[in-house]
Structure 1
Amino acid sequence: MAAHTLVMGQVRLPKVFSDNMVLQREIDIPVWGTSTATGEITVELGGNRVKAAPGQDGKWILRMPRMQAGGPHVMKVYEGSQTKPVITFNNVLIGDVWLASGQSNMEWQVQQSMNAETEIKNANYPAIRLFNVPHDKKTKVQQDVLGGSWIPLDSAGVKTASAVAYFFARDLHLDLKVPIGIVQATWGGTPVEAWTSREQLLSSPISHNRILLNDSISEKHFIQDSLDLVRFWDIVYNPKNKTAKTIPNRRFNDSKWPEVVMPATLKDMNMAGYEGMVWLRKKITIPQNMIGKELTLDLGHPEMNYSLYVNGQEIAKNVWNANFKHQYRIPARFVKQGENVIAVRMAFLWGGGGFNPPAEEMFLTDGTFKINLTGPWKYRIDLEPTIPKIQNYHRSPTFLFNAMINPIVPFGIKGFIWYQGEDNVSAPLDYRTLFPMMISDWRIRWQQGYLPFLFVQLANYMKVKPEPSESDWATLRETQTMALAQPNTGMASIIDIGEADNIHPQNKQEVGRRLALVAKNLVYHKPVQASGPMYQSYEIEDDKIKVQFSQTGAGLAANGNEPLKGFAIAGPDHKFYWATAVIEGNKVLVSSEKVKNPVAVRYAWADNPDCNLINKDGLPAIPFRTDKWNATAEQ
């Protein structure tokens, strides 16, 4: 690993420069740093030598001449008249560098994704390199990141890499035959404001006052929050007050505990606003024909962090959906004649908790006979210490920009890929201002013109609703579509590959592929279909509405060769009904017997829409509405 400083500390480069790095091809390559010496700094790369003189503040920057893709190269840094380099970077490649940023779905690792074992085993791409910016938050802009170095994405390095970024990079690398670098700057559960500069956020009334509130926050607050966070997770992961020994026991007396009918969530249990540990117990009678057999227990759709006990024996400890199926083997020796007790210790956090519907997926079975686990459960909330209130300063405006984005400016890049928005769903109309503002902010900082900004539209998520209704998720997706009005932007829709009960859908391969399609079309000018059908216009014809689409590719189609689904139509009363929809060339004819005088159409307008319009290239139609009615879940 390259040493980034001299013994005397005269010359320093940011940590984003290291062995194995990828530098951006076909641009004047920025190289910068600081020096406490008075002599000029010389950088040598690819036979070129460029000099820069440090300013009074010790900062220097220079730009190396443009280079074509290839390598490996050695980059050397000299100070003053010295003939030996003070810093040497080895195994440097020239290619295309993409900054991958956003919240947890961009941070989601290869080892957490679909077919992880196979993907990791087959990862052998020495020309795909990753620099992962460590989590950090600061009240003031920083000049360097906490740590990190470039690593090739082989079976060892790929495990913790962003899955979306890796599959995106792999697709481009195999097609373009050039090295690909990924600078990953991600943090789960963060709003767009956290990634935007103070100057930009002060310019909008939406965020101006929140920025001023930040001025009262200091590094001391961060330290205390970090200490509280350690205590927080210690309570979540480790039962306190000897509860794990007593509560799951068959003989424990829970007669005075309140009761709840499961499946039920935090809201159903009248516990809105509660955060902490909840113990749940259910007594069941095992019939004689199931005694002596290994059983399977299916918990359905529980909250992510929990421990499962049967008759006092810990069966499983699930941390952050380590087990997505929530099915567990119960050894025959743990099953007792007559009454048995199932106990669950569950973390209720951030407005979530309990067991989500559907009910029929909670059961105990021997493969033939099934015991339903729905119905009454006992629960208690006051058996363990109160968890500390965490301020989550990483979610505060500007703090991630200060520590994780500003320090890597102006590292030469090809463009940005972005997957975020879940954390802004509660205020989707504000996102109309905040998202384009961040895009502009980053482009201004990099000073590389209208750098390509490619982003993922939110996936379908949560329970499918039986009737058309308002949706903040749909409104946020619309806001993302509206961001395509910004120059040199592209969007990958994944409205067809989300999961109702998982905000982190596992099929990150397809997300990366669709982002790569957008890049090939928009950035590399390849003749590929990169988008699903997009709403273009509509016209009313008697009791029907005809919708015109662009981006139809090889033609419109219904996925699965079924009748079109996902269209709703409304009259002047603004009440939407599910509609019959028929493809006519590049148009869709929409109607309903319940709406004789239609004025508006919506498609895939829901948290988790049941929709199937695609083009014959297999890409899903972008959700849309023709009306301008205020569409948020609060209305």
Structure 2
Amino acid sequence: MIRFFYKIMLLGLCALPVGAQNSLKLSPIFDSGMVLQQNDSVAIWGWAKPHAEVNVCSGWNNVPVKGLADSSGRWKVRIKTPSASYTPYTLSVYSQNDSVRFTDILIGDVWFVGGQSNMQMNFRGNPDQPVLHAQDILLRCRHKGIRLFRVENGYSIEPSDTITINGKWTSATPDNVKEFSVVGYIFGEKLHQLVDIPIGLVQSAHGGSVAEAWLDRKTLEHFGEFNLDLKNKKIDPIWYTFEPTVLYNKMLAPLLPLAVKGVIWYQGESNVERPEQYARLFPELVRTWRKYFEKENLPFYYVQIAPYNHPKTNSAKFREVQLQLMDSIPNVGMAVTLDVGEPDIIHPARKEVVGERLAYWALNKVYGYTAFGCRGPEFRSMEVKDGHAFLKFDFAPNGLSFMGKEPTGFEIAGEDKIFYPAKVRITPAFWGNEGLEVWSDQVNVPVAVRYGYTNYVDGTLYNTEGLPASSFRTDNW
């Protein structure tokens, strides 16, 4: 009998109405309509009266989990989540005389959407920079199982437990999707269509941001190379995104330790003039973000910057670094965009294909749909015969293709290191062993071949899965 009344008491606590007082608060990332990560120990946190007991009760097991606020009122508990489903659940939080109750919670996979302007760019586009097929995509936005959370822009020169993010969970209606990342939404849409579970997308991306803006002070102190004395520096109210730590402090730290399935990332244009540093910084970012999100092998899929006529540098060097990092960082993948860039616009209109190529990585590597290729051709070896260079490639299991385009962007050089435009053809061989034959009448003995190794190029080399090759070079000059 005592056990029966105790169970009734617990169920009553889990059904408490929303309290009128406001000393009990949760991070804005927790709200009605949210998606929580399935099969995880999900952290729930907020603020209450100092030293107050806090109980969190979920609608899927009706067992309160107890926590205790510290001297500042900050508290955190962990609750275990079930497998994904479309069943709407409730979550109740109560402390002393205060209570909060959230409804319409789905359990599924949560993906973090990060980066700079090409990730932040929504369906409105920019002045004279439209998003291709934006209206057509919005016409199909009726996915009740996709939920969106968009963090509003802001910065802070110092971290603090009292900083909160601005944003709210919304459903994937045309009105809400229109304000969301195009790349991020397309990624989530493709997962949802095939995997058929609720998908939560949390966007925290800021135009113009450098990678170091998304890292904490301690990490950057250990890394070195950055001026972290921001208190004594006049921060530009417009260009603050070029400062280290400021976006981590405001747009990332208040979300941590959010339970997520993985990260998609589109950033690099603001670091393009520092490829050698990025070769060291990006691995540190991935490693540190995995620590932030408390998953050592968190899937992390990123976008190679698209071709564009950068005024001060040859961005092919940066793209080369991004390509090489795919082999040196575990459990990452890169969406190549060599065929979607625009010579004079840094924000390409073709965003849909970028989201799709990121989705191929997740579908293949995370969800086990290996029918989807996710990696384009990558140069493996070169052999010279009779004045022609013969190149072999990995990740072209059924061979190469120009996809109906005229092959461009190929150059060839001899020992004098002078590159000339090259002719090229696909050399048929055994299945899976096709390659390229490259030559120029101006080069008798080829020593090196380059493809797309310029700021802007319209990529023309693919595998038969339609995935483009990155720019590459066979030399190290």
TM-score normalised by the shorter chain: which range applies?
0.7 to 0.9
SS of 1:429's equivalent?
Answer: helix
Preserved contact between residue 195 and residue 401 of structure 1 (Cα < 8 Å): yes
Q: Per-residue displacement from partner, 1:411-434 (whole Å, max 9, x unpaired)? A: 110111111111111222221112
Query: Residue deviations 1:90-123, cap 9 Å, x none?
Result: 1111111111111111111123222223322331
- 3-state SS in 2 of match to 1:152: strand
Q: Write out aligned runs for 1:421-432 (5 A).
A: 421-432=268-279
Q: Per-residue deviation at 1:173?
A: 0.5
CA distances 1:548-568 after superposition (whole Å, capped 9, x unpaired) = 211103321112164x33221
Task: After TM superposition, give the deviation of residue 195 of structure 1 in Å.
Answer: 1.2
Which one has the largest radius of gyration?
A: 1
**Secondary structure, aligned partner of 1:111:** coil
1:164 aligned to 2:183?
Answer: yes
Correspondent of 1:132 among 150, 158, 166: 150
The equivalent residue for 1:523 is 366
Distance apart, 1:623 and its partner CA: 1.4
Equivalent residue, structure 2, for 1:237: none
Task: Give, in whole Å, the separation in 1 of the partners of 2:396 and 2:23.
Answer: 59
Q: How does 1:467-616 map to 2 (within 5 A)?
A: 472-484=314-326, 485-527=328-370, 528-541=372-385, 543-560=387-404, 562=406, 564-584=407-427, 585-616=433-464
Q: Is the 8 A contact 1:416 1:452 kept in 2?
A: yes
Aligned counterpart, 1:407: 254
> Letter of the aligned partner of 1:32 in structure 2?
W
TM-score (norm 2): 0.88
Aligned to 1:186: 205
Matches within 5 A, 1:70-469: 70=85, 71-80=87-96, 86-112=99-125, 113-143=131-161, 144-207=163-226, 210-211=227-228, 213-217=229-233, 225-226=236-237, 392-462=239-309
Unaligned runs of 5+ residues in structure 2 are 1-17, 126-130, 428-432
Partner of 1:62: 77
**Aligned match for 2:61, one of 47, 50, 54:** 47
CA deviations on 1:343-393 (whole Å, 9 max, x unpaired) are: xxxxxxxxxxxxxxxxxxxxxxxxxxxxxxxxxxxxxxxxxxxxxxx6x22
1:133 Cα offset (Å): 0.8
Q: Does the 8 Å contact 2:301/2:333 carry over to 1?
A: yes
Query: Structure 2 vs 1, CA of residues 68 and 607 (structure 1 numbering), >3 Å: closer, same or farther?
Result: same
> Structure 2 CA distance, aligned partners of 1:40 and 1:184?
32
Give 2:465's match in structure 1, choosing from 587, 598, 617: 617
Contact 2:50 2:72 in 1 (8 A): no
Identity %: 36
Give the CA RMSD over aligned residues: 2.3
Q: Distance in 2 between matches of 1:33 and 1:611?
A: 49
* Length, aligned pairs only: 446
The unaligned stretches of length 5 or more in structure 1 are 227-389, 630-635
Shift of 1:145: 2.9
Contact 1:114 1:507 in 2 (8 A): yes
Secondary structure at the aligned position of 1:538 is classed as strand
What secondary structure sits across from 1:618 in the alignment?
coil
Inter-partner Cα distance in structure 1 for 2:342 and 2:141: 26
Aligned pair in 2 of structure 1 residues 195, 514: CA closer, same or farther (>3 Å)? same
Letter in structure 1 aligned against 2:344: D
How far did residue 60 of structure 1 move? Answer: 2.3
Letter in 2 for 1:408: L
Amino acid at match of 2:324: M
- Is 1:24 the equivalent of 2:42? no
